């Protein structure tokens, strides 16, 4: 199988299309004798002559504007802006003109132009030779934006762009030009605009990426495979219009989203992709974005540039965080079961069979239940909940023998003169208190109050059930829950 680098694939696409269609002309700075600063147009001047391969003045506005005019006349201009950083002078023609011509003339005119430019950092180009500009242009309806990552897509998407009836901005990541090599089909090879591809299949999370970040994302995904994290990586390929179907299919499967781009984070493509996922309601946990921080430029300093650009390590870290995220959405949280046989129906009050003299039985049952549910034998503090290793029962037997305020749990029991049912107060430093009502006909209501900052309501029910079971065990007394 024949392998090419990305830049060789771009060159092949240009040459093939110029040979196939004589309406195709190439224009830009240094595209002639020099063959382009990245050599994308190398050899084209010799093959096709100076009429069709035109060196332009250093004037980005007119490069784009002339391409608009050529396209309106029915030619197929392929303009090159050396660095995406210089494209802003051409923006008026791309966004104000090329993108609008067809719409503003009710379809009478069209603008089938291509503008290629090299974008992206990672090679110490500094703030004016490293920018990612896709968000500005993907925001302009009427314009199509493609960003190939592989040599095959670089060829197939460029050919599709040249043949497209509408204006297409082709963003070529300059680091991929020579770093990425791969199989490229020979001859006529078109990759349809508007279709993403699944570069790596996985179950646990989806990465959406393009350009050099696609390769960094794939490396991160590979490194996580041995940890049992199975990441799907989708190569967007076309940034406008987005391939919503492929993106949403992947998210419907993994339900976790990580977007990676070199562009700065705020209002970047990731914002739109996260919104797309949110609106489609396909995520189980909040998405993560791995992108450049919001600083005005990419610094040229080796350490600083490496610090601001995403890479396989930062993507890997983000994926680990993403996969570890708890499901936060209510409807995906496993619901409490409708009936838990361990919880009596009136879960903060139970009816317990007790003899008239029952203090020892009750204390033993409380110790046993508290041992089984240590959150009810604890101290709450904002720094954490301390569960006590021992159960110290603070007995409150009424005005003559009140609780001493010590102990880890309080048992209130005023005997036969007390009320049938009363709610105890939880004392400071404790998380639970239990009160036994007056025994009538061998039975008493037992109520429990807790500090809900420490103890869940369901556990109160389970705790009382344990108390009841312990109090009635081996005494062959009838066990009934209050049917309340």
Partner 1 sequence: MTSQERERAYRALSLARALDDRMWRLARAGRAHFAVPCSGHEAIGIGYALAMRPGVDWLAPHYRDLAALIVLGMSPRDVMLCFFSRPSDPNAHGRQPYAHFGSRALHVLSQQGPQPNHCSHGVGCAWGSQLLDDGSVTVIAFGDGGAQKGEVHESMNVAAIHKLPCVFVVHRNGWTQSVAREDQYATQTLVARAAGYGMPGIAVDGMDVEAMHAAASEAIERARAGGGPTLIDAACVRFMPNTSNDDDSRYRDRAEVDALRASGDPLLRARALVDAQFAAAVDAENAALADDAAEWAEAQPLGDPATVADHAYA
Q: Which amino acids are annotated catalytic?
A: 129
Q: Quick one: tokens of 47?
A: 């093959």
Which residue number, 103 or 345, has a Cβ lying nearer to partner 1?
103
The SS3 call for residue 258 is strand
HEC states along 116-128? EEEECCCCCCCCC
Q: Are 366 and 409 in contact (CB under 8 A)?
A: yes
Give the nearest distance from C-beta 92 to partner 1 in angstroms: 6
Give the nearest distance from C-beta 235 to partner 1 in angstroms: 23
Q: What is the rounded distance in angstroms from the CA atom of residue 207 to the CA atom of residue 312?
A: 12
Give the residues lining the site for partner 1 (CB under 8 A). Answer: 25, 51-52, 54, 56-57, 59, 61-62, 64-75, 77, 92-93, 96-97, 100-110, 141-142, 144, 164-166
- Exposure class string for 294-325: b at 16+ Cβ within 10 A, else e: eeeebbbeeeebeebbbbbebbbebbeebbee
Q: Quick one: tokens of 120?
A: 């992206």
Give the nearest distance from C-beta 179 to partner 1 in angstroms: 33
Which residue number, 62 or 308, has a Cβ lying nearer to partner 1?
62
Give the nearest distance from C-beta 110 to partner 1 in angstroms: 7
Q: What is the rounded distance in angstroms from the CA atom of residue 411 to the CA atom of residue 404?
A: 11
Give the nearest distance from C-beta 107 to partner 1 in angstroms: 4
The SS3 call for residue 153 is helix
Q: What is the rounded distance in angstroms from the CA atom of residue 13 to the CA atom of residue 9?
A: 6
Which residue number, 68 or 218, has a Cβ lying nearer to partner 1?
68
Provide the 10 A C-beta neighbour count for residue 441: 6
Which residue number, 141 or 484, has a Cβ lying nearer to partner 1?
141
């Amino acid at each position: 199988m024949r392998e090419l680098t990305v830049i060789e694939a771009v060159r092949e696409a240009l040459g093939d299309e110029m040979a196939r269609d004589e309406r195709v002309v190439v224009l830009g700075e240094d595209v002639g004798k020099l063959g382009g600063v990245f050599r994308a147009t190398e050899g084209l001047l010799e093959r096709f002559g100076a009429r069709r391969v035109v060196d332009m003045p250093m004037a980005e506005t007119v490069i784009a504007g002339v391409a608009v005019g050529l396209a309106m006349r029915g030619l197929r201009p392929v303009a090159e802006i050396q660095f995406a950083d210089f494209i802003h002078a051409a923006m008026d023609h791309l966004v104000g003109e090329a993108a609008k011509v067809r719409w503003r003339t009710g379809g009478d005119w069209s603008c089938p132009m291509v503008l290629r430019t090299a974008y992206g950092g990672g090679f110490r180009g500094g703030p004016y030779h490293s920018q990612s500009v896709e968000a500005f242009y993907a925001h302009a309806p009427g314009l199509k934006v493609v960003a190939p990552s592989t040599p095959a897509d670089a060829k197939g998407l460029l050919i599709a762009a040249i043949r497209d009836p509408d204006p297409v901005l082709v963003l070529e990541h300059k680091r991929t030009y020579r770093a990425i090599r791969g199989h490229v089909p020979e001859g006529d090879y078109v990759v349809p605009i508007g279709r993403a591809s699944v570069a790596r299949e996985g179950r646990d999370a989806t990465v959406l990426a393009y350009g050099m970040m696609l390769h960094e994302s794939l490396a991160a995904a590979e490194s996580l495979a041995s940890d049992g994290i199975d990441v799907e990586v989708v190569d967007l390929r076309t940034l406008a219009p987005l391939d919503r179907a492929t993106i949403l299919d992947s998210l419907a499967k993994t339900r976790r989203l990580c977007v990676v781009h070199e562009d700065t984070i705020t209002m970047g493509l990731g914002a739109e992709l996260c919104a797309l996922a949110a609106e489609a309601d396909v995520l189980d946990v909040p998405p993560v974005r791995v992108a450049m921080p919001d600083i005005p430029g990419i610094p040229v300093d080796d350490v600083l540039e490496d610090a601001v650009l995403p890479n396989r390590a930062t993507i890997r870290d983000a994926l680990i965080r993403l996969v570890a995220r708890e499901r936060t959405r209510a409807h995906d949280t496993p619901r409490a079961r409708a009936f838990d046989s361990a919880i009596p129906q009136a879960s903060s009050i139970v009816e317990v069979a007790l003899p008239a003299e029952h203090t020892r039985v009750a204390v033993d049952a409380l110790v046993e239940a508290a041992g089984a549910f240590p959150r009810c034998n604890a101290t709450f503090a904002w720094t954490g909940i301390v569960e006590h290793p021992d159960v110290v029962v603070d007995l409150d037997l009424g005005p003559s023998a009140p609780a001493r305020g010590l102990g880890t749990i309080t048992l209130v029991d005023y005997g036969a003169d007390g009320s049938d049912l009363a709610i105890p107060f939880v004392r400071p430093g404790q998380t639970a208190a239990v009160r036994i009502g007056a025994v009538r006909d061998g039975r008493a209501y037992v109520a429990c109050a807790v500090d809900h900052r420490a103890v869940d309501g369901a556990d109160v029910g389970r705790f009382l059930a344990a108390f009841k079971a312990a109090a009635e065990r081996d005494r062959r007394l009838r066990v009934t829950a209050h049917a309340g």
